[in-house]
Chain A
Amino acid sequence: MDEDDRLRFLFAKAFETGVPTDDCPTAERLLEAYHRQLDQDEMNEVVDHIAICPVCAEAWRLARQTPPPSPARR
Chain B
Amino acid sequence: MNEVDAELRAKLVRFVARVCPPWLAAQREDLVQMAAIKLMRTASDKEWTDGFLSRVAYSVVIDEIRRKRRRNEVGMSPSMPDRIMNSADLSPETHARGAEVGEVLLECVGELAADRRRAVTLYLQDHPVPEIAERMGCNRKRASNLVYRGLAELREKLRARGYEP
Contact = CB atoms under 8 A, between A and B. Distances in A.
A39 B94 CA distance: 38
Interface in B90-110: 90, 94, 98-103, 105-106, 109-110
B134 A8 contact: no
Contacts of A4: 123, 151
A68 B123 CA distance: 20
Given A7-B105, A15-B76, A20-B70, A43 B135 contact: yes
Interface residues of A, number: 50
A9 B50 contact: no
Given A5-B84, A14-B105, A28 B55 contact: yes
Contacts of B21: 62
A58 B80 CA distance: 9
Contacts of B151: 4, 7
Interface residues of B, number: 59
B124 A14 contact: no
Tell me the dominant secondary structure on chain A's binding face. helix
A28 B59 contact: yes
Interface in A2-51: 3-20, 24, 26-28, 30-31, 36, 40, 43-44, 47-48, 50-51
Contacts of A50: 121, 125
B80 A17 contact: no
Given A1-B89, A9-B98, A73-B47, 5 more contacts: A5-B87, A9-B90, A20-B66, A47-B118, A66-B55
Interface of A: 1, 3-20, 24, 26-28, 30-31, 36, 40, 43-44, 47-48, 50-52, 54-55, 57-63, 65-70, 73
